[in-house]
Each structure stands twice: as C-alpha cells, then as structure tokens.
Amino acid sequence: MEQKVSETEFAKRELDDMWIINRFQHPLATDEATNTTKDILLPCSNILDAMLHGDMSQPAHASKTRTRTGCANCRQSRVKCDGEEPCTRCWQKGWQCTREKLTLKWKSDYQSRGLAFGREGVWGKGPSSKKKSGVISTGKQNWSPNSTVYPWSFVNQDISTMEWLYDEKGAPRYPPSMEISVIRPKRDRFGVAEQTPLWYSPPVFPYPQAQKHAVMVEYFIDQVCPRTTSSLKIASPFTSVILPFCLNGSENGLVALQALAACYWSQSNPVHTSTAVRLKSHVLGELRRRITAEPSYTISPDPEVLVLMMMLSLYDIVDQCDKGWVVHLQGAKDIIRLRRRNLSNQTQCPVTAFAELFFAFQDVMGRTACAKADLFGPSFWDQTDRSVNPWMGCSPELVSILFAILDLSRIRPKIDTVLAEEVDFSMRASALNRRLGGLVQVLADPEDRALQAVADLKRLACTIYLHCALYNAEPSTPIVRSLVRRIIQQLSALLKENLIINATWPIFVAAVALDPADGENWPDPVTGELVCGRALVLRALATMAQSTVTSVARVRSIIETVWQSRDRDLATGLSGRQSSQHNDWEWYVVPLSDALSLAATPLQSKQVSRLTAKTLTRH
C-alpha cells in the first residue's frame, strides 16, 4: 500500500509540473483578471484524483470527435488531437508534432474508384444515415455530333472535311492557311448536309514525307479518282481500295499516289512537273532498294510492291505514254507469279486482287494494238462472268473472248498452211464469233446509262477486231464499215449529251478501221453541222484529253499516221501489203503501236464534260 501511495504521489507531482508548463505556454491561464481561467485550466492533480476515485463528471454535451487542426500523427491514428503545438499526445510519446500541408483532392477521382469523397459518411459515428454518392444526371444533355469515320480517316478528321476545294470557276487551288477554321458541313452523295459545322484542326497526315505535298492527295481524290471508273454510281477502286491502303498502311504508296497526281496536274500546269519527277524518283529508289535488299519470298506477299508498280505504270502512261510502263508490267508479272506460287491457297486481299486485275487488263488491251505475246495468261478472266466491271467498262467474259482472239491471231494460217490447220482455225474463229454475238453483258444497275454505253461500244470494237485479226477484214469490208458507223453514231449521241465514257479503245479501233472513202456524215455535237467520221473522232479525242488518265496525244498521233498512210496508198494506188503475208491491221496499226496503253479510264462527269465542251467551243 505504501508503494502504491508513493507512486500516486509521484504521479501527482509530475502532473503538477505539466500544469505549470501549460500555464506558461498559455497566457490566458495566468491572467488573474479573468475568472474563467480557473474553470478552464484545473490543476492536473485534481484531475488525477477524479480519475482515481471514479467521480469524473460527464460533460453536458457530446465532445467533438474530429477537428480540423489536428496534427499528422493524430490524423493518421484517427484520434482526437487537442490542437496544441505540440499536442499532448505527441509530447507524451516524444514524437515530432507537425501539421499536414494543404492537399487537393478531386471528387471525380474518388467516384471513379468507388470511394466516398471527404466526409461523406465513411468515418461518421453519429446515428444519421450515410449520404448517397452523387449520380450523373440522366436528364437532357447536349452532345457534340461526330463525323463519320471512313477507312481512310486521319487522326483528327477525314478527307471529306478538307477545305482544299475549288474556286467559283472550278480551277484547283492550293489549300488555305493552316490556321484552325470552321469546315463546312459534310454532304452525302445526294448533296444533303450532315449535322452542324464543327471546329476542326488542320489535317494531319500519317507520314511526314506526305505532309509537304498534301495538296496532291486532295487533287488525286478530286481529279484523278473520278477519271478511273466508267460508272457515276459506283466508286472507283482507286477510291475504295487503293486510297485507304496508301493512307493507312503504306508511306511509299502515299508518295507514289502524290507523284501520279502531280504528273497528271503537270499536263495542264507545268509548274508541278518538278514535283512529279522528284516524287517519282523517291518512289522508284525505294522500290529498287526493296527489290535489291529483300528476298523474293518477303517481297511477293507484300501488296505495297504491286501498288508502287501500278502507280509508276500509270505515271509513265500519263507522261506521254512512256514505254517505261511496260517495264513495270513485266516486273509485276514476275511478282504476281511468285505470289501465286507461294500463296496459292490463301484468299487475296482487295489491294492485291485489284492490282493483278489492273496489270492483266493493261496487258490484254495493249496487245490488241501491238500483237505481242501475252504476259499474264487467261486465268484472270472468267469465261462465264457477264457482269460488267465498272473499272474495266466491260465484263470478264468479253475480255476472255478478246484474249482468245489475240492468241488465235498469232497462229493465223499462212499461205502454205495445210488444209487441216485451216479448218481448225476456221472452226475456232467461228466459235469465238458466235460467243461474241450472243454475249449479253449484265449491269448491276440497269439505269446506269454511261456504263451500259461503254460496255456496248467495247463489244462492237471487239467484233471489229475479230474480223480484222482473224478474217483479214479491211475498212472497206461491209461488216467492218457497218460496225464503225455504229460506233461513230453512238459517240455522236454521247457527245451531244455531254456524257464522256471510257471509250479510248473503241475510238481507237473505229478510227484506224475507218474507211477513207466512206462519205457518211454525222451532225457535230457542238455546231450541229454535218461532219465526216474523222472530224467526229478528233472531237471525241479532244474531249477525252481533259477527262482520262492516259496519253490521248499518242493515241491521236497513231490514228493520224494511219490515216495518212491509207490516204497515200489510196491516192497512189500502190501498197506493199499485197505482196506480204500481213493483214490490214498488222500492216497499218501494229508497227506504230508498240507499248501503247489503251486501257484508259475516263470520267463520266457531266460537269467536266460541260467544261470540255465550252473549251472546244472557244477554240
């Protein structure tokens, strides 16, 4: 008991010392003039007596469980802090009493983690129910309209929102300054505005190399792509297949696309010639590097290689039909052969399928003029497919028949041929003639007059070529003269309606097979005067010069040379053909048509046709 009393007395003395220290730190407790200090600060010994004897009186009201001035240690332990500096708890335990600095907390962060924010009832000890967390209002809200995302979209906008259009006169211009501007609302294919104008930032190209010549991409979309289809209602493969591939997966393909656009633009504006040559040189260098450095089994499956070759071929075709396009054609043949051998059981992607179709079609149409051996073979053409391809302007069955005519013409019997070979040749030629006569090409849209017209013209031109190549027909042959008149008559009607079609090959065939002695006249679509067939052909070529991705200049040059040769022979009455084994086509046309591209793809735009008609009227 004595030991316990002595410990109690020791504790009283220690607490009395603490009380003295507290009075020293709080002047309010030492103010004798204030009677309330005695009620606020009691000697610690009296408090200890009350605690030991259990007669500590309860406060009249519930004490606060939290304060805003608590120290860091008390807040971390979630106990009440007396707010002193240092607080009693830290002083007793010998801790450093510090106050936390201001910390910003965000309600959205807590809600995203499913936690209550601040004092939203998590640590509340009262009987009141906890507050419910805020819920996002489900009332009427305003949403910003989003533009349609196409496969060729950029990061922040698609091509349809570019402001690089044309001025009131229809002439292409450079894009405006790259400042942020409001873009006019998009329009669908029927011209209906969509949503409201949105704020767009400048277009972002996926590759730095393409950013410098971004205007060429817009020119390719607006001026080149529409010229690569024979239908007003069906998109060109260059728009739906090649353009998305170049924008999304091929930097070199995008540069090649710009090179082709610059080359085509330079035909009317020589300022872009240097840009076209520079871009082509870059693409050609990259293609050579890949072919030299990479093995064939990695090059052949890559569709980018075929796309680059296709763009370079079109570049050379547009550039005065340079013979370099045949080099790319032969290179593409090797790439396609390796690809088909290595990937025979795999489905082709749309890019590769179209590239192969492009080169195979160029091969067939070019061979009709130069009469050389085929490069791609007949496997690309389905003999039973009569549906008209909008890009080719005819059905695969028609191309298959034309391919067979080309092969059969190369084995045409000579003078010393045996009778059995002549009979076999005649039977095969008759079979092709019957197939061609019974061919009915089917359109996906029967109302597409432009596509129907070009399909009919190509069937007539194929019939003329069959008689010239297999039956040794001449311009004066009645069947040839009749077919040529039908083609020229349809051209006259189309020109009168300002409807330009994919008619490079039919015009070429009809022009070189036109009889110089034929006195038939047709009304001029502009002046209404009666003109001869040659004048109408020249007018059609002049109209097509501004609406086709090909070199009309070389086509016209060959046609005029053939006319001059026929006129000279007709005037002199002498011709070396009678003493040779060549027919009329082989004598007049083939020697002039080496590396001539006839698979042109003009535009069916009435707007371009009207502009062309106005140009012809002024001249």
Residue 65: pLDDT band with limits 50, 70, 90: low
| Separation CA 467–CA 93 (nearest Å) | 115
Higher-confidence residue: 455 or 607?
A: 455
What pLDDT, in 10s, does the model give residues 515-546?
A: 988 878 888 777 778 888 899 898 888 887 76
Q: What are phi and psi of 199, to 5 degrees?
A: -90, 125
Q: What is the pLDDT of residue 560?
A: 93
Q: What is the pLDDT of residue 247?
A: 86
| Separation CA 343–CA 300 (nearest Å) | 9
> At the top level of CATH, which class does the domain 64-104 belong to?
few secondary structures
What pLDDT, in 10s, does the model give residues 158-199?
A: 454 444 433 434 444 444 333 333 333 333 433 444 443 433
Residue 346: pLDDT band with limits 50, 70, 90: low
What pLDDT, in 10s, does the model give residues 442-453?
A: 998 888 888 889
In this prediction, residues 15-33 reach a mean pLDDT of 44
Q: Which residues of 31-54 are buried (b: 16+ CB within 10 A; e: fewer)?
A: eeeeeebeeeeebbbeebeeeeee
Residue 73: pLDDT band with limits 50, 70, 90: confident
What pLDDT, in 10s, does the model give residues 212-242?
A: 788 898 889 888 888 887 777 788 889 889 9
List Cβ neighbours of 81 (8 Å cut-off, separation of 6 or more).
67, 69, 70, 71, 74, 75, 87, 89
| Measured CA angle at 601 (ends 597, 602), to 5 deg | 120
Distances (CA, A) of 273 to 219, 276, 308: 15, 5, 19
In this prediction, residues 96-108 reach a mean pLDDT of 77
Question: Per mean pLDDT, which of 334-348, 403-417, 470-484, 575-589 is the most reliable?
Answer: 470-484
List Cβ neighbours of 98 (8 Å cut-off, separation of 6 or more).
71, 72, 73
What type of residue is 484?
Answer: V
Lowest mean pLDDT segment, chosen from 38-47, 268-277, 397-406? 38-47
Find out whether 28 and 34 touch, Cβ atoms under 8 Å.
yes
Give percent of the chain with pLDDT exceeding 70. Answer: 66
Give percent of the chain with pLDDT exceeding 90. Answer: 25
Maximal C-alpha separation, the chain: 157
The DSSP-derived string for 264-305 is: HHHTT-GGGHHHHHHHHHHHHHHHHHHHHHS-HHHHTT-HHH
| Separation CA 86–CA 71 (nearest Å) | 9
List Cβ neighbours of 509 (8 Å cut-off, separation of 6 or more).
368, 461, 464, 465, 487
C-alpha atoms less than 13 angstroms from C-alpha of 338 in its C-beta half-sphere: 16
Handedness of CA 338, 343, 348, 349 (dihedral sign): negative
| pLDDT at 153 exceeding the cut of 50 | no
Alpha helices in 371-444 (DSSP H): 396-410, 419-437
What pLDDT, in 10s, does the model give residues 541-577?
A: 888 776 666 678 888 999 999 999 999 988 887 776 7
Q: What is the pLDDT of residue 449?
A: 85
| Separation CA 528–CA 522 (nearest Å) | 9
C-alpha atoms less than 13 angstroms from C-alpha of 430 in its C-beta half-sphere: 6
What pLDDT, in 10s, does the model give residues 119-129?
A: 665 555 555 54
| pLDDT at 405 exceeding the cut of 90 | yes
What type of residue is 87?
Answer: C
Q: What are phi and psi of 41, to 5 degrees?
A: -115, 105
Residue 137: pLDDT band with limits 50, 70, 90: low
| pLDDT at 272 exceeding the cut of 70 | yes
Lowest mean pLDDT segment, chosen from 88-102, 198-212, 359-373? 198-212
- Listed in order, the ranges of the chain carrying CATH 4.10.240.10 are 64-104
What pLDDT, in 10s, does the model give residues 304-319?
A: 999 999 999 999 888 8
What pLDDT, in 10s, does the model give residues 376-402?
A: 888 889 888 999 998 888 999 999 999
460-465 CB contacts, 8 Å cutoff, 24+ apart: 460/486, 460/487, 460/506, 461/487, 461/505, 461/506, 461/509, 461/510, 462/398, 462/401, 462/402, 462/405, 462/436, 463/436, 463/437, 464/509, 464/510, 464/513, 465/368, 465/402, 465/405, 465/509, 465/585
Q: What is the pLDDT of residue 544?
A: 78
The DSSP-derived string for 499-562 is: ---S-HHHHHHHHHT--TT---EEE-TTT--EEEHHHHHHHHHHHHTTSBSS-HHHHHHHHHHH
Find out whether 29 and 37 touch, Cβ atoms under 8 Å.
yes
| pLDDT at 248 exceeding the cut of 70 | yes
Q: What is the pLDDT of residue 225?
A: 86
In this prediction, residues 607-617 reach a mean pLDDT of 34
Closest by Cα among 144, 288, 230, 194 to 544: 230
The reported pTM is 0.64
Q: What is the pLDDT of residue 524?
A: 79
Residue 323: pLDDT band with limits 50, 70, 90: confident
| Separation CA 357–CA 112 (nearest Å) | 54
| Length of the chain, in residues | 619
